[in-house]
Amino acid sequence: MAGQDACIDVSVARLAAAYLAAGLAPVRPPEGVDAVLEEIRAEILPLRMPAELERFWRLVDPNSITLAPYPYPYPTTAAFALQTWRMHRDEAPGMTPRALFPFAYESHGFLFVELADGLGHGDVVIEWCYAGSPFFVRFPTLSAYVDLLAEMIERGEFAHHEGDGHPWTEFDPADRWRGEQLDRLEALGPLPGPGLIREIDEDVRAWPEHWLLSNELTVEARTPRGATTTVAALLRTAAGGEAPSGTIRAAVARLVGSSEGRRIEVDDGTGVLDIWCPIGVCAYGPVIGREFEFDVVLRPAPPAAPDWGPEHREIQQQALGQNLEGAQDAIVRLYAKAFQTPAAAEATGVRPVD
């Protein structure tokens, strides 16, 4: 740990010196970071912050790092990082592993540091962004990221501009950051943990085992067990006033989602079932067009599923016509149908079968 501290101390000192030599506003130390770091340590247990990550936030106010490659992520505060990590954990299980802790963010993109699990994993810097991005291994350590930042400033890889009376400084005008980063990574060969892997699909089924375990996604929790009943059989029993339960295998035909969960319709060939999937069971899905196993409990005499198709179509039409007010009105009506009416069934487990 002491060696890692020394690496990040040297890298941050180099960055601060580069800022001063370039005539930039100085890199500042943080204020009042102890409490949030203690909160992070408690929140991420049994995982641990790598020494470099904690030391970085103890040495630097990230808001004073004003030059970084845009639109790539900028270093962010420990408080914002914790808020984001909690949001991913609580509102979107299965989107990012708990083993990845953000330290930089910009324009929907993140740089994460992999947390230590005591089994040889940790320290690696991973890039990812919302809406369909793989996880990319970018640096072996946080200090390697800071070193590259410092080196490019030392080389004068920035330019000052004037615009409407507001001066600003552009980092990396020749767009060399990505190439420099890739060259350094390739030269390192296998890394502790990921080895030669440089890209991991964001689909939770492709995650490394230690990422899955960080989200408490055990082998048992994601292994299909086989259907025990059908949609038609469940609906017949529920129509008689009972609250049947069982496991069905079905394809997702329709889906609407929120931070609370997913309202879906599934078809197993014997019938269509309207299901509410609380966010806690959504780590592996559901995903429209794919098959899953659903452990479900039905309401007695369940109501007919609401048809939110007209609202879906209206949202698209209004958006294409740039009628934002009309689109917003349709969204409100869709939300009321999908999330303010009872579903026929509730899922207690969702497992992929493909």
The pLDDT confidence band at residue 73, using thresholds 50, 70 and 90, is confident
How far is residue 80 CA from its own chain's centroid?
14
Please say whether the beta carbons of 127 and 135 come within 8 A: yes
Q: Please tell me the predicted confidence (pLDDT) of residue 218.
A: 80
- Of the chain, the percentage scoring pLDDT greater than 70 comes to 98
**Coil, helix or strand at residue 344:** coil
pTM comes to: 0.79
Higher pLDDT, 6 or 12: 12
| Mean residue pLDDT across the chain | 90
Q: Name the percent of the chain lying above pLDDT 90.
A: 62
For residue 4, the model assigns a pLDDT of: 54
262 phi and psi angles, rounded to 5 deg: -130, 130
β-bridge mates for residue 275, sequence order: 264, 345
The sheet with strand 199-200 has its strands ordered as 74-75, 100-106, 109-114, 125-129, 135-139, 199-200
Q: Say if CB 322 and CB 314 are below 8 A apart.
A: no
For residue 107, the one-letter residue type is S
Tell me the pLDDT band of 2, cut-offs 50, 70 and 90.
very low
Check whether 223 has a pLDDT greater than 70.
yes
Residue 225 has pLDDT above 70, yes or no: yes
**Predicted confidence band of residue 87 (pLDDT cuts 50, 70, 90):** very high
- Which helix (H) or strand (E) element contains residue 169? strand 166-171
Mean pLDDT value of segment 53-66: 95
Which residues, listed in sequence order, are joined to residue 109 by a DSSP beta bridge? Answer: 106, 129
Integer Cα distance of 246 and 18 in angstroms: 64
Instruction: Flag whether pLDDT at 1 surpasses 60.
Output: no
Task: Please compute the mean of the pLDDT values over residues 65-82 and round it to a whole number.
Answer: 89
The more confident residue out of 192 and 21 is 21
pLDDT at 165 over 80: no
Arithmetic mean of pLDDT, 197-219? 89
Retrieve residue 114's tokens.
């992999």
Q: What does the alpha-carbon distance between residue 208 and residue 219 come to, in Å, rounded to a whole number? A: 12
Residues in a beta bridge with 258: 261
